[in-house]
Structure 1
Amino acid sequence: MATFSPYPPHPGHPAGGVPGHGPRERWWRRNWVRHCALITLLSLSGLVILALVRQQTGTEGFLVGLGLAVLPVPLLVAAFCWLDRVDPGPWRNLFFSFAWGACAAALIAIVANSFATRWIATTTADPTSADTLGATVIAPIVEESAKAAAVLLVFLFRRRDFTGIVDGVVIAGVTATGFAFTENILYLGTAFGTDQLTGDRGFTSVTAATFFVRIVMSPFAHPLFTVLTGIGFGIAALSPDRRPIRRTLLPLTGLLLAMGMHAIWNGSSTFGQYGFFEVYGMLMVPAFGLLTWLAVWTRQRELRTVREELPVYVHAGWLPPAEPFVLGSMKARRLAREYARHHLGRSGARTVAQYEAYATTLAILRHRHAGPEFPLRERQLLHELWLRREVARPALDYAARRTAPPVPVIVPPWPVYGSYGNAAAPYSVYNPYHS
């Protein structure tokens, strides 16, 4: 009888056989080549955008703009990280998204917007109309497309990390935060240079007005636009692979909505004396509230998925009865990490956090039943849980005693997706908890 190994098959062999016998991967498809190319692209973009912004603002204006523009960044990034706490993605995705928005997307926007506006002004011989058309038509198309490229790249090349709406919101929001950071440096630095020429100071200065509008009133503007694109990609990630048209149209619809909202926002100054405040109160604030509610509701839905999908592994003997409730409660998860940090230090808390993340990914994977890759991916995730069980189990038991209600777990007849979830033969497969 063949024996079962808990370790995942070697990636070079499609059947998980002897390592090294799979087809040789072409050099341009290797991860290190892609990483080096991406780092080079972002580094060059960062250097060029730094030179362009400094040229337009001057050194002193650049430093002032940098100091003021950085203020909302930690708050926005922290908000998106809080939203991503249920099934956190890798930090490298967030770092790439912010760097793309701040460097590559900002560079594309500056070059393309300037070229298009100058071409329109030269063609029509009307610089005022060219500026208006550039702000309300050209800029939304160029900027939203440049920011959407980051979401598309993560969607294509980090597909395992892109599982739903929350991932789309987080990647899009962090990308737009990086873009707004660079743009705010440019606007605030230019405003400071104007005040240096006119001698304005204090609350009546152009710098103060720009800071109030862009940093105080609307720090969420760019994230709000691009989040619509992220939602489109997130819904596409939930769609079956056999529906390619739907998976293509949903991101495009989100992108078009982002461009439309961006155009209305940029054109608010042309709607009359109080056009800006009308658009802000009637469009931006309600949209911000609605999208915030949608993101929080989706996060709660992920927790509910954890509570509903993990009990099948309780029935198979992989998890204790109370663990699905603990992993489906943010309060219980926090208690487990605090217990591990108190008794085992930061490394123990990190191990518990990893256990929680892998368990959440497993629940979402089972909920989606992601095609032929499901058995292998399920096997890998269960192996990751098995490696961390000795550290995580006491902390989760403690959280269960503090939060879980004394109700027995009732296992409904789940469909059989993989060998681990086979309720008809719960111990017929390899299980490290049973001898």
Structure 2
Amino acid sequence: MAISPPYPPHPPQPPQPGGTPEGGVLRHAHWWQHKWVRYGALITLLALSGLVILALVREQTGTHGFLVGLGLAVLPVPLLIAAFRWLDRVEPGPWRNLMFAFAWGACAAALIAIVANSFATRWIATATADPSSADTLGSTVIAPIVEESAKAAAVLLVFLFRRRDFTGIVDGVVIAGITATGFAFTENILYLGNAFGTDQLTGDGGIASVTVATFFVRVIMSPFAHPLFTVLTGIGFGIAALSGDGQRIRRVLLPLSGLLLAMTMHALWNGSATLGEWGFLAVYGAFMVPAFAVLTWLVVWTRQRELGTVREELPAYAAAGWLTPAEPYALGSMRARRLARDHARRHLGKPAAREVARYEAYATSLAFLRHRGRLGRAGADFVVRERELLNELWRRKDIARPALDHAARMTAPPVQVVMPPWPVYGVPGHGQGYGHPTGPARHPQHQLPHQQPHPQPHPQPHPQHQYPHPRSAQPGYSGYGPYQP
């Protein structure tokens, strides 16, 4: 879809009595369509699943085994959640999505896996009259299919019902990783509790050899195993989220491909346990560690690319007056964002810092929305969503702008270049793009002399260097100014 230039700012439009800010009429919703009904049903489902899985794990491990397993299994959870939250700092998702993902993995997905795996293993043992082969087949074939499908259900639910919060690969990775962290937490309680029970039966007092070995393999060597598998499913959903509404086949096949890859890697990991100690270490060193390194690099690269999108898309809103000239640079730098929050916290307190953080999140969502619109992948609610985000920014501008301008002054390089990365009418010989306005100059005539501290954060550029709308690259656009349609 072709997007229009940003309109000049004006105060937010409050909802009209009996209608919406856009003038629509609110229709009466059925009782099952209310949010509190859906949230209540979901919370009830997760709570019941948690109680059932708690009873099942305690029955298998005993009270002492459960407590020991719980104390040991909780150790890697804060580190994994902190890592995924770090990846999500560019456009932080709501906490309720992360809480749902962890609860689904720890309660619903774990319950589905325990029940389905036990039933399938018993059925195979009865049909083949060979319990050992049933255990091997169950761990290498049945468990990967059941567990990865159960964890993928959480990613699917967020993708379908919280679509505005699911905009790309990083969102898919974070939701999938948090879900898998919850699942691994419950599974580790079961394995560690059973290991402790085994040590007790052999007469060893306290935590002995089996418990230590299980803890080393599951918590020290491979705490990332389940997140690594499910992240492949999340990447599939994330790429599907970047696809347009007309690419329905792609939006179905990509998540399925990610799920199949997750099942395959999970089966390879479980199967390595049947190859003996050296076979397990070979699979771990030759496959698991490199796969983890590659996926980590991919996610970090995607995170940096998101920051680049923020720096490229927001100057159009600065030209229209919604943002100050310094904000696109500050919002495209994680260091500048942190400095802005710290500045607001020191001078106005923690509530102001939270408002600056919300401002940064809304501005990032606005940049991603405009990027999808320029690529023709925005939905039918593009205009409504853009107006909502701009209104949220306008409400917080008095608190956020001074903090972001301060952060830009503290982090910007001494040489400022205002040459835009797209062709500009009236500047001969410069249609190839010369990088971001805060990057190094590539032509002497576009360099600004280094200035001493100035009362304003950034001087206004010459009118011919004003940022046009990104649509200027489209045929038929005159390019005489930032507002020319």
> TM-score range, shorter-chain basis?
over 0.9
**One-letter code of the match for 1:283?**
F
Q: Which whole-Å CA distance do the structure 1 matches of 2:121 and 2:17 have between them?
A: 50
- Out of 378, 386, 396, the position equivalent to 2:386 is 378
Deviation at 1:200, TM superposition (A): 3.1
Contact 2:170 2:303 in 1 (8 A): yes
- After superposition, the Cα gap between the structure-2 partners of 1:354 and 1:344, relative to the gap in structure 1 and judged at 3 Å, is same
Q: Does 1:319 align with 2:375?
A: no
* 8 Å Cα contact 2:316/2:482 also seen in 1: no
Q: Is the 8 A contact 2:169 2:302 kept in 1?
A: yes
Check if 1:414 corresponds to 2:418.
no
Aligned AA for 2:398? E
What residue is the counterpart of 2:245 in the other structure? 241
Count matched residues: 421
- Aligned residue for 2:434? none
CA distance in 1, matches of 2:114, 2:75: 22
- Match among 388, 399, 418 for residue 407 of structure 2: 399
Q: 2:23 aligns with which of 17, 29, 35?
A: 17
Residue of structure 2 aligned with 1:175, choices 176, 179, 184 = 179
Which position in structure 1 is the counterpart of 2:311? 307
Distance of aligned partners of 1:10 and 1:415 in 2 relative to their CA distance in 1, 3 Å threshold = farther
Question: 1:408, CA displacement in angstroms?
Answer: 4.3
User: Structure 1 residues 355, 14: CA separation in 2 closer, same or farther (over 3 Å shift)?
Assistant: closer
- Against the structure 1 CA distance between its residues 9 and 104, is the aligned structure 2 distance closer, same or farther, given a 3 Å change threshold? same
* Alignment-mate amino acid for residue 138 of structure 1: I
The residue correspondences of 1:318-357 to structure 2 (distance < 5 A) are 318-357=322-361
* Displacement of 1:423: 7.9
Mapped contact 2:196–2:207 kept (Cα < 8 A): no
Aligned residues with identical type, % of pairs: 75
**How big is the shift at 1:190?**
0.5
- CA-CA distance at 1:22 after TM superposition: 2.9
Question: Which residue is 1:265 aligned to?
Answer: 269
Separation in 1, partners of 2:16, 2:139: 52
Change (3 A) 1:87 1:12: farther
C-alpha displacement at 1:29, in angstroms? 1.9
> Does residue 365 of the first structure (1) align with residue 369 of the second (2)?
yes
- Rounded Cα–Cα distance in structure 2 between residues aligned with 1:380 and 1:240: 21
Pairing partner for 2:146 from 142, 147, 150: 142
Partner of 2:168: 164
TM-score (norm 2): 0.83
Q: Which residue of 2 is the match for residue 390 of structure 1?
A: 398
Q: Deviations over 1:121-140 (max 9, x none)?
A: 01110000000000000000
Contact 1:225 1:261 in 2 (8 A): yes
1:145-294 to structure 2, matched below 5 A, reads 145-200=149-204, 205-294=209-298
Query: Separation in 1 of the partners of 2:78 and 2:230?
Result: 18
Q: 8 Å contact 2:243–2:251 — kept in the other structure?
A: yes
Contact 2:13 2:21 in 1 (8 A): no
- 1:180-232 C-alpha deviation (Å, 9 max, x unpaired): 00000000000001101102368861000000000000000000000000000
Describe how 1:117-132 pairs up with structure 2 within 5 A: 117-132=121-136
Shift of 1:373: 1.0
CA spacing shift, 1:241–1:276, aligned 2, 3 Å: same
Secondary structure class of the residue paired with 2:200: helix
Asked if structure 2 preserves the Cα contact closer than 8 Å seen for 1:317 and 1:427, the reply is no
Offset, 1:407: 1.3
Is there any run of 5+ residues in structure 2 with no aligned partner, and where?
A: 1-8, 421-466
Structure 1 vs Structure 2 CA RMSD: 2.2
Deviation at 1:413, TM superposition (A): 4.5
| CA shift for structure 1 position 8 | 6.5
Alignment correspondent of 2:301: 297
Partners of 2:35 and 2:60 lie apart in 1 by 37
Contact between 2:117 and 2:138, CA under 8 Å: does it hold in 1? yes
1:95-125 Cα shifts (integer Å, max 9, x gaps): 0000000000000000000000000001110
Give the CA deviation at 1:426: 5.4
- Greater shift, 268-277 or 387-396, is seen at 268-277
Q: What one-letter code is carried by the residue in structure 1 that aligns with 2:22?
A: G
Q: Displacement of 1:404 after TM fit? A: 1.6
2:400 maps to a residue whose letter is A
State the secondary structure of the residue aligned to 1:88.
Answer: coil
Cα distance per residue 1:151-195 (max 9 Å; x no partner): 000000000000000000000000000000000000000000110
Instruction: Give 3-state SS (helix, strand or coil) of 1:25's partner.
Output: coil
2: CA distance, partners of 1:8 / 1:115: 56
Structure 2 CA distance for partners of 1:76 and 1:365, relative to 1, 3 Å: same
The ranges of structure 1 where at least 4 consecutive aligned residues each deviate by more than 6 angstroms after the TM superposition are 422-425
Cα distance, 1:9 vs structure 2: 5.5
In terms of fraction of residues, the more helix-rich structure is 1
What is the CA–CA distance in structure 1 between the aligned matches of 2:390 and 2:320, rounded to whole Å?
A: 12
Is the partner of 1:320 in helix, strand or coil?
A: coil
Structure-1 residue corresponding to 2:84: 80
User: What is the letter of the counterpart of residue 362 of structure 1?
Assistant: L
Contact 1:165 1:230 in 2 (8 A): yes
State the 1:15 CA deviation.
Answer: 8.2
Q: Deviations over 1:43-84 (max 9, x none)?
A: 000000000000000011000000000000000000000000
SS of the residue corresponding to residue 314 of structure 1 reads helix
Give the SS at the match of 1:372: coil
Change (3 A) 1:113 1:206: same
- After TM superposition, the score normalised by the length of structure 1 is 0.92
Change in CA separation of 1:15 and 1:347 when aligned onto 2, cut-off 3 Å: closer
Match of 1:208, SS?
Answer: helix
CA distance in 1, matches of 2:195, 2:273: 18
